[in-house]
Chains A and B, each alone.
Chain A
């Protein structure tokens, strides 16, 4: 399972049960990234992919349990720390912005290897940084 998450400068993810931000070019990036693999997400995340035409997207509110090896999981409002055994990779998209937050990405990545780092320009974000961590 490969988790995809978006975080702000403080590793914040959500505020007041709402995502901190979104970007259409980031979504395009994700769709390109997964190739022919499955992309799991819950019904909340589906709301931002509503106009994304991809047969690979699977919606299930219990998707972290169902995702298999090699599947991608777009995680916005869930804690993945209890799924570390299943995780093969973590892809973090940094907004490079400070937003309010009351839910954070808390996984300790000190034992993970940063194998790739890339910047790109979003639609509404000057610079989005993608980091790929593997075990």
Chain B
């Protein structure tokens, strides 16, 4: 049986995590070929966590609960799968939270020389995804996937507001981008695996963790896979200290498979912090840090929390308060499901200078090879996919083979 092993040991006040390989499907070349033909690279592997050296007070990453796996398309006959390979021995590589320096202004920090704790045999050019069962405290554990183009979503993400990860609170601050302190953060981002409201893939994370910390890595992996159609082995492990309900951070690892890490290779710890906010990681409760210069003059909002709206994602619920707790009655009102990383509107590019480009703006029709003034009446009839905005020298457009529209005569 193909095992994924996570074990945890507490040394003094630190957490040391023995990370294991991601679950692999079949092992022999012939089996691989047969599977590839049979399931068109859609693999549903079954793996399990080995019983690790578990400390009594650190259940989060050391459970013998089996991994549950899923794939975008359920296989019709899982029994045809070859048994996943039993790992011969646990990996020795460890991640130690004690080695992580406290947050100092950067959302992430390289770990282990930026080299993931993968084994070479983990790198297989087939798509799959695995999600650990929740631990005894209901917390997420590692999620791992071999990201391929066939794993990526083909439709918009749905509602995830029904999932309430451990440590979840409805907390709203004016100093937080988008107001809401916490997001439901996908471990394996939706843009990578298309996994929607899977409670085994969603943790409570700050807006900062989601947008500044995890999103850039998801983007890099997603764009590489789209461009190359290669695979990236990708694992995200939430790091909980003791019995805390809120993760201190996440360990993100990735390696491009076909070129053995030449294109994508990272191993980073991403801090689950929010500048200007004090967080109690045991419960997820929070408060404004009035000792910092940026928040010292920020008024603390009213604490009266009114019933949130029922909308999902981007709608601002009518809730205020420094840390307004979500409604205790299940289903009473859906709290906002703060955007996952992949749905966040990115900041605008930091243009090195604010000057407008010299020259005139034209609209190019890439299909007809005509160019127009933006005010030309024919632009409304133009397909968006054929439309391209250009600002600059008219002669440059003509040199690219475009001809001026006879109606607006640019």
Contact = CB atoms under 8 A, between A and B. Distances in A.
Interface of A: 8-11, 15-16, 18, 20-24, 32, 47, 92, 94-101, 105, 107-110, 112-120, 123-125, 129, 131-133
Given A22-B227, A94-B349, A118-B391, 19 more contacts: A9-B347, A15-B266, A18-B262, A96-B346, A97-B223, A98-B219, A98-B346, A99-B219, A100-B216, A100-B268, A108-B352, A112-B352, A113-B355, A115-B392, A116-B391, A116-B396, A117-B391, A118-B388, A125-B223
B388 A16 contact: no
B219 A117 contact: no
Interface residues of B, number: 39
B226 interface: yes
Contact of B390 (A8, A118, A133): A118
B402 interface: no
Nearest to B268: A100
Interface in B328-360: 346-353, 355-359
Contacts, number: 104
Contacts of B392: 115-118, 132
Contacts of B393: 115-116
B352 A18 contact: no
B160 to A, nearest CB: 21
Contact of B223 (A112, A113, A124): A124
Contacts of B215: 98
Interface string B231-274: 00000000000000000000000000000001111101000000
Given A9-B348, A98-B346, A20 B220 contact: yes
A97 B211 CA distance: 12
Nearest to A7: B349
B227 A124 contact: yes
B15 to A, nearest CB: 24
A65 B183 CA distance: 49
A113 B358 contact: yes
A115 B359 contact: yes
Contacts of A116: 357-359, 391-393, 396
A124 B357 CA distance: 26
Nearest to B113: A16
Contacts of A8: 216
B147 to A, nearest CB: 14
A114 B393 CA distance: 12
A101 B106 CA distance: 11
Interface in B303-349: 346-349
Contacts of B356: 114
B217 interface: yes
Given A114-B353, A115-B359, A131-B357, A24 B227 contact: yes
B216 A99 contact: yes
B296 interface: no
A80 B132 CA distance: 46
Interface string B96-116: 000000000000101000100
B145 to A, nearest CB: 19
Nearest to A25: B227
A18 B264 CA distance: 7
B224 interface: yes
13 contacts: A9-B348, A94-B349, A99-B216, A100-B220, A100-B268, A107-B352, A114-B357, A118-B388, A118-B391, A119-B390, A124-B226, A129-B349, A133-B352
B108 A100 contact: yes
Contact of A119 (B227, B262, B347, B389): B389
A129 B265 CA distance: 26
Given A100-B268, A118-B392, A119-B389, A110 B220 contact: no
A32 B396 CA distance: 12
Contacts of A96: 346, 349
A18 B391 contact: no
Given A100-B268, A108-B352, A116-B392, A21 B223 contact: yes
A110 B265 CA distance: 35
A108 B354 CA distance: 12
Contact of A11 (B348, B350, B391): B350
A95 B358 CA distance: 22
